[in-house]
Amino acid sequence: MTLKVGDGADIAFAKSSAKRRRVSMPNNPVILSVIIVAYRSRDEIAPCLASLPRVLMGRAVEVCVVDNSPGEATGVGEIVRRDFPSVDYVAAKGNLGFGRANNLGFKRTRGEFVLFLNPDTVCNRAALEHCIARLEEDVEIGLITPKLVMANGEMDLACRRGIPTLWDGFCRATGLAAIFPRSRWFAGYNLTFLPEDGTYDVGAINGAFMMGARWMFAEEVAEDGAVFDENFFMYGDDLDLCIRVVQADFRLVYDGSVQITHLKGLSVAKELDAMSRAIFDANRDVWLKHFVPEPRDGWKARWTIWKYRTAFAAWKTVARSRAKLRGHRKVRPV
């Protein structure tokens, strides 16, 4: 298939043989499963859970919290057990990583629709019901996200993205995307040339809010029973999932008519420099997984691998250098 990212460049994928049909679950008493992976999220988990309604559209909402830092006395488990007894709390045996923890939560839940949600978000009934309704109406939608707004009132640019090309990565690393945010040519990574309150297909959405139908995840996208690729420990797993959803011939939809709050990475706020490096490396690994030609030992594959590794290493260096020149020690991830 060919993916149209807003009014920007087309991205081609091989069309799958998957047949579009909605697997309705009318007898399922649970309409939505919310899966939250917590990591040192003591300050964020209570507002997040409090914002989730227990019932939507006359059916139950179930919530599963997988705690990736239970042995560090972070207090997440204490808060969940005391204040939210209906939540399924899972104390992981160490830090499983984002993807593996989400897969664990997916297997423990049964809702007709599934929302992978960050603990540093605050949702609302209107946004959740709107996203569910869109999925019910249009079987072609694989994943949907609302507009994510940060605490300062600005839009979280990462909530809608194009599938990053080498050119998009160059523009982002060098600052051209920030200088020309309304340009389709320079701003293809975060799609800032598109209206924030609009509704359109995108190339990728952020792992902070990813909602889709359970049957789609289980039957069309999962690899060996896993929704997320567990080879990605923390970053890149959401982009990898988006690519696999599109390859399965589904659409990714950004719907800016509704919004939620994203407090944006409070659990890793003290580790931004390492996080920025990890994001660059994860994006590189996603590209190597999906876009290196077969066979991998051929000259085309070796050339592609060298090209992407070199490009991402250069972009990472440029981005960090720009931050230091501006008088900052860290690069703000987007």
Between CA 55 and CA 75, with CA 128 as vertex, the angle to 5 degrees is 75
pLDDT tens column, 116-135: 999 999 999 999 999 999 99
pLDDT (0 to 100) of residue 18: 44
Q: How confident is the model at residue 8 (pLDDT cuts 50, 70, 90)?
A: very low
Taking only the tens place, the pLDDT of each residue in 212-270 is 999 999 999 998 889 998 887 677 789 889 999 999 999 999 999 999 999 975 544 44
Structural domains in the chain, CATH included, are 2-268 (3.90.550.10), 272-325 (no CATH)
Q: Is the dihedral of CA 88, 93, 98, 99 positive or negative?
A: negative
pLDDT value for 184: 92
Which of these, 295, 35, 288, lies nearest to 164 by C-alpha position?
288
Task: Write out pLDDT tens, residues 302-333.
Answer: 666 656 566 555 555 555 555 554 544 444 44
What integer is the mean pLDDT of 30-53? 96
pLDDT at 129: 98
pLDDT value of position 44:
94
Better-predicted residue by pLDDT, 184 or 166: 184
pLDDT greater at residue 245 or residue 10: 245
CB atoms within 10 A of CB 272: 17
Mean pLDDT of the chain: 81
Mean pLDDT over 42-52 rounds to 96
Confidence at residue 173, expressed as pLDDT on a 0 to 100 scale: 74
What ranges make up the beta strands (E) of the chain? 2-4, 10-12, 30-38, 55-56, 59-67, 88-91, 113-117, 121-122, 141-149, 160-161, 199-201, 204-205, 209-213, 251-262
Report the pLDDT value the prediction gives residue 137, as an integer from 0 to 100. Answer: 96
pLDDT of residue 38: 94
Q: At 284, is the pLDDT very low, low, confident or very high (cuts 50, 70, 90)?
A: low
Contact between 19 and 48 under an 8 Å Cβ cutoff? The reply is no
Whose structure tokens read 């981005």?
Answer: 319
pLDDT higher than threshold 90 for residue 48: yes
The pLDDT-based confidence of 75 (bands split at 50, 70, 90) is confident
How many C-beta atoms surround the C-beta of residue 262 within 10 A?
22
pLDDT band per the 50, 70, 90 thresholds, residue 157: very high
Residue 234 has what DSSP assignment?
S
Mean pLDDT of 141-158: 96
pLDDT-based confidence at residue 57 (cuts at 50, 70, 90): very high
Mean pLDDT confidence for 86-94? 93
Residue 224: predicted pLDDT: 85
